[in-house]
Amino acid sequence: MNNNVDAIIIGAGVIGACTAYELTKLGYRTLSVDKLPQAGYGSTSGSCAIIRTYYSTIESCALAYEGWHHWKSWAKYLGNMVSGADLVEYHNTGCLVAKTTLNNHLQKVCAVMDKLGCPYEHVSNDEINRYLPGVDKRLYYPAKTIDDDAFGKPTGGELSGSVFFPNGGYVSDPMQSAVNVQVAAESLGAIFKFNSTITRIVIKQDRVAGVELSDGSVVSAPVVINVGGPHSSVINKMAGVSDNMLMSTRALRHEVAHVDAPESFNNVKRIITSDSDVQVYTRPSSANGKGFLIGSEDPQCDVREWVDDPDRFNADFSAQWKTLVMRLAQRIPDLSIPDTARGVVALYDVTEDWMPIYDKSDLPGFFMACGTSGNQYKNAPVAGKIMAKLVQTTDAGHDHDSEPVQFHLENIDFTVSLDAYSRNRTINEDSSFSVIG
């Protein structure tokens, strides 16, 4: 193996691959190591790959809007180094978000969109049928578990309309998107090594010096970046940096249900939906729109299934699956509840405030892009650029902790102070504390 690299990236998920690609563009010789057999095989493969611009904070909305520009021009982002059938498709369906008391009727989100110049339009209750035929507009909040006698009983009143965000959609194949980035990075000289587990972070003279692999071999490098997804806390512990961080990361088990859409949806333009009244989000299952992917918006009543060992978790569907389908059926009464569960069981990597950590650490040369909290697939190209800039400025002697790096988002002409993603930030109370971020 090439033992002469400038940076080792732990993980070749979509964010790890983008980090390798962006560092390579800056001239770094990178080695990406992943214990799985191909890029994107980890939590990226389970992603719903929804691209949306609405979050709870301006920094998050800005990153997401910048990210949307890259998905929209995916071949260009890849430097036109991938083409034809290998390229994933981005379907710009738009996203319909219900106005509810939980999201303050989207007033704050719309004000942020105005600041960022990100388009949206208000949709009245009468117009919702255009997107969701036969929709039940009654309120059901708060969400309940299906064994609660009050489940499915309206709680009074109706939705106060919705907002449609035209710049949003989903990517056809999240795993393949990571492969696309790997190919682009390799064409610039990046090296990827699969089926290889990192078991130790090598530290010499109080700074990172490389990694040790499970076969006992050591690869030296002055920079190591933890992009281990749900394994990020294990890797931070290996590096001995966890105890000096205010934020932490934890793996959280989540299910996504795949179901057929009712026939009434056959001739309807299929979109992404987010409904914090019944507390589920949906996306069309495929380009021809024959079904729904249904995910949870993490209501208070649901017990959170934290996972201590990300290599060992229950990969079978549980009551969570049926709960998701029945929650959506409150809004779409024609939805059938299948007998057989289909979908995904996977792990998020969650921080205290459900915002990611894109940062250096107290161990010189050791960086992390983690805590992506079920909502950072869309930001992978931007996260890759952020990590490359953090490594480059730190190499140049800059101390990001005392003077946070300012990161300019070129497509939307907006600058974000990267202390928003610090490992030592205080909990961002503006967060939704859910996958919405």
Piece of 78-86, 93-101, 297-305, 341-349 that binds ligand FAD (CB under 6 A)? 341-349
Piece of 91-99, 321-329, 345-353, 392-400 that binds ligand FAD (CB under 6 A)? 345-353
> Does residue 41 bind ligand FAD (CB under 6 A)?
yes
Q: Which residue of 24, 30, 44, 273 would you call a contact of ligand FAD, by CB under 6 A?
A: 44
Contacts for 248 with CB less than 8 Å, ≥ 6 apart? 233, 242, 351, 352
Give the three-class secondary structure for 86: helix
d(CA 424, CA 162): 36
Binding map of ligand FAD across residues 152-191, x = CB under 6 A, - = no contact = ----------------------------------------
Helix axes 14-25, 174-187, angle to 10 degrees: 20
Binding map of ligand FAD across residues 237-276, x = CB under 6 A, - = no contact = -----------------x-x--------------------
> Does residue 229 bind ligand FAD (CB under 6 A)?
yes
Helix axes 14-25, 380-395, angle to 10 degrees: 50
> Does residue 355 bind ligand FAD (CB under 6 A)?
no
What's the min distance (Å) between Cβ of 415 and ligand FAD?
A: 22
What's the min distance (Å) between Cβ of 324 and ligand FAD?
A: 11
DSSP 158: B
Q: Classify the C-alpha dihedral 312-318-319-322 as positive or negative.
A: positive
Nearer to ligand FAD by Cβ, of 44 and 167: the residue is 44
DSSP 194: -
> Does residue 382 bind ligand FAD (CB under 6 A)?
no
d(CA 164, CA 95): 6
Q: Which residue of 70, 253, 327, 378 would you call a contact of ligand FAD, by CB under 6 A?
A: 378
Q: Give the total of residues touching ligand FAD (CB under 6 A).
A: 40
Piece of 183-191, 318-326, 342-350, 415-423 that binds ligand FAD (CB under 6 A)? 342-350
Nearer to ligand FAD by Cβ, of 90 and 139: the residue is 90
Q: Which residue of 8, 30, 31, 47 would you call a contact of ligand FAD, by CB under 6 A?
A: 47
> Does residue 371 bind ligand FAD (CB under 6 A)?
no
For residue 302, what are the CA distances in angstroms to 11, 83, 139? 30, 43, 19
d(CA 139, CA 156): 6
Contact 130, 267 (CB under 8 A): no
User: Bridge-partner residues for 91, per DSSP?
Assistant: 170
